[in-house]
Amino acid sequence: MLRVYHSNRLDVLEALMEYIVEQERLDDPFEPEMVLVQSTGMAQWLQMSLSQKFGIAANIDFPLPASFIWEMFVRVLPDIPEQSAFNKQSMAWKLMTLLPDMLAHDEFAMLRHYLNDDTDKRKLFQLASRTADLYDQYLVYRADWLIRWEAGELVDGLPEAQIWQAPLWKALVEHTGKLGQPKWHRANLYDRFISILENSAERPARLPSRVFICGISALPPVYLNALKALGKHTDIHILFTNPCRHYWGDIQDPRWLSRLVTRQRKRLFEERAVPLFKDSENAAQLFDEEGIQNLPNPLLASWGKLGRDYIYLLSDITSSGEGDVDAFADITPDSLLHNIQLDILDLENRAVAGI
């Protein structure tokens, strides 16, 4: 089961987590609760809030998303090491070893010029660290590039930096194998992980019974796809801070709009459901030819690109509509800030010129 709770207040979402923990006890009292967070600060706040509610907060794990996904790989897939050989630190040191020998190749002329006067190897370390960080981002957001590069292919339409990044990545994978380390990394494990979960009739023994995701503004698409597959065997609760009660994401396919219009969110603790769109009958008029929504609220329109993309992705992984829960809190317009927040919540623009 995968369920997304939408609310404009983080404290409401935290209270929801408390309610679920209290009302739906885990079968095994020694199994830890799993709460994905974006930072240690969020973990500390949640732990303090839970301890105030229950008197104690123990046996709760607060992993970061990347660590959690890798741990799930280890639990589900065979022969996966506890720590990836392609974490940033490992890649940085390996790249420091590889780069000096590769500078003689024509593809690395730009880097050769940069490292020309690097007598103390400081630039080499900085370059290796920055490149490792870049590859780490590719593992999350551009896994398809790395798969192509690993096969010795180039990706059409990429900037000239691909000329040296592609062979360097291929060399990094080969060097990792020569060290006797597994060549598994996130880019080549996602499909295996998802396939096993989707095709397993029975729940793999080592999976957690329940996972909360709280205080994370956005997750990469590959993480959401992995969570969707995991939701077939585990209860996934995504507690999403959403400033607007109506659908304000973009669409990538006009046919997707016809499904969204019929979707509803179940109102929390009520029998009724609410539609995603403020005016479902005229929803098609909100989008331009590229599927971008013409938002009436200027703040959402100008600052909410990441949020719009994430709203779309969340609507995709809960495509049946049964996993959407409305937990929005009403706002009293008793100050300028609250008026702005109310406009965003209701997807309106009641601004008065001169204010």
Cα angle vertex 75, ends 71, 80, to 5°? 80
- Read off the CATH number of the domain in which 98 is found: 1.10.10.160
For the packed helices 122-141 and 221-230, what is the interaxial angle rounded to 10 degrees?
50
Residue 12: in which H helix or E strand, if any? Answer: helix 10-23
The verdict on 207 and 70 lying in the same domain is yes
Residue that finishes a domain, picked among 165, 185, 205? 185
pLDDT at residue number 252: 55
User: Which pLDDT score, from 0 to 100, does residue 353 have?
Assistant: 44
Question: Is the domain of 34 the same as that of 59?
Answer: yes
Residue 327, Cβ density class (10 Å: 0-12 exposed, 13-18 middle, ≥19 buried): buried
Same domain, 309 and 344: yes
Judgement on whether residues 41 and 129 belong to the same structural domain of the protein: no
* pLDDT given for residue 342 in this prediction: 92
Q: What is the pTM of this model?
A: 0.84
Residues 197 and 67 in one domain: yes
Strands 264-267 and 273-275: antiparallel
Give the sheet arrangement for strand 33-36, strand by strand.
Answer: 60-61, 33-36, 210-214, 235-241, 2-7, 324-326, 264-267, 273-275
Residues 119, 251, single domain; the answer is: no
| Shared-domain flag, residues 257 and 351 | yes
pLDDT at 272: 67
- The domain boundary, picked from 185, 205, 226, lies at 185
The CATH code of the domain that includes 59 is: 3.40.50.10930
Q: Are residues 74 and 114 in the same domain?
A: no
> Which pLDDT score, from 0 to 100, does residue 234 have?
94
**The pLDDT of residue 354:** 44
Residues 176 and 231 grouped into a single domain: no
Tokens representing 10 are 């983080």
Tens-digit pLDDT profile for residues 205-234: 889 999 999 989 899 999 999 999 999 999
Same domain, 6 and 95: no
> Residue 277 in contact with residue 265, Cβ under 8 Å?
no
The answer on 355 and 251 residing in a single domain is: yes
Cα four-point dihedral sign 85, 89, 93, 94: positive
What are the mean pLDDT values of the chain's consecutive 10-residue runs (355 residues total)? 92 94 91 95 94 92 94 92 92 95 91 87 94 95 94 90 94 95 91 91 89 93 93 94 84 60 68 66 63 75 80 78 80 91 87 52
Residues 298 and 167 in one domain: no
Domain assignment of residue 276, given as a range: 246-355
The count of domains in the chain is 3
